[in-house]
Amino acid sequence: MVKDYNNILVPVDGSETAERAFDKAVKIALDNNAHLDVLNVIDTRQFMGEMQDTLISGDTIYQMTQDSEEYLKSLKEWAKEHFNFTDVSYHIRYGSPKRIIAVDFIKDHHNDLIIMGATGMNAVERMLMGSVTAYVNQHALSDVLIIKTDIDNKKVAKPKKKYF
C-alpha cells in the first residue's frame, strides 16, 4: 500500500531547483490533501570570516529575515494563484540547514515527507560545504523526495523580485 502524506516539508533557498521542488510539493500536497510547510534556513555561518567569533550585525540579520519572509510570502501567493492551494505555512530558521531540515524541523512539525531540489549549490560549493540535499537524504527522520524535473515542463514558481 502506498503511503498518504499528511504534512509535507519543502525547504527553499531561492535557487531554481528549490522552486521546482516547491511546485511539485504543492502538487503532491494537493493530491494528498496535505499541509505544506515551506522553510527557509538562514545559515548565518556563511557570513563569518576567518575569525570564528566575528558576529554579523543585527541590521544584516534583520534584512536577511525580511528578504526571506518576502520570498516565502511570494511563494505562498504563487501557490494560491496558480494551484488554488492555501494550506501553506512558511517558516524561517537560523543555523545549519542540514541539521534543521533533516532532524530539528521534522521533530517540531511532524512532517512525513521532505521534498527538495537536487542541489542549489555549484560544484565548488558542494565540494567545500557538502550538499545539503545529500545530507538530508542520508539523515532525515522522514521520507525524502529529490526533485530534478519540472511539472509537465510548466514554468516554476518565480517570485517577482529576486531575494537571494
Assigned domain for 159 exists: no
Q: Which helix (H) or strand (E) holds 21?
A: helix 16-32
- When mean pLDDT is compared across 55-69, 88-102, 124-138, the lowest value belongs to 124-138
Assigned domain for 38 exists: yes
63 vs 73 pLDDT, higher one: 73
Q: Where residue 100 falls among pLDDT bands split at 50, 70, 90?
A: very high
Query: Across-strand partners of 7?
Result: 35
Mean pLDDT of 53-68: 80
Using the predicted structure, report yes or no on whether residue 1 has a pLDDT greater than 50.
no
Q: Which helix (H) or strand (E) holds 20?
A: helix 16-32
Distance CA 66, CA 86 (A): 22
Distance CA 118, CA 130 (A): 13
Assigned domain for 107 exists: yes
**Nearest by Cα to 99 from 135, 67, 128:** 135
Computed over every residue of the chain, the mean pLDDT equals: 83
- Angle, CA 142 vertex, CA 121 and CA 75 arms, to 5°: 50
Work out the widest C-alpha separation in the chain, in whole angstroms.
53
Query: How would you class 40 by CB atoms within 10 Å of its CB: exposed for 0-12, middle for 13-18, buried for 19 or more?
Result: buried
Q: Where residue 65 falls among pLDDT bands split at 50, 70, 90?
A: very high
Mean pLDDT of 53-69: 81
Residue 27 backbone phi and psi in degrees, to 5? -60, -45
Mean pLDDT of 88-112: 95
User: Residue 70 in contact with residue 161, Cβ under 8 Å?
Assistant: yes
Number of domains within the chain: 1
pLDDT of residue 104: 96
Mean pLDDT of 96-105: 94
Percent of the chain with pLDDT over 70: 74
Assigned domain for 141 exists: yes
Assigned domain for 161 exists: no
- The residue range of the domain holding 65 is 7-147
CATH of the domain at 118: 3.40.50.620
Question: What tens digit of pLDDT does each residue of 17-58 get?
Answer: 899 999 999 999 999 999 999 999 998 776 555 445 556 677
Assigned domain for 153 exists: no
85: left (phi over 0), alpha (psi -120 to 50) or beta: beta
**Nearest by Cα to 12 from 58, 83, 69:** 69
C-alpha cell at 160: 517577482
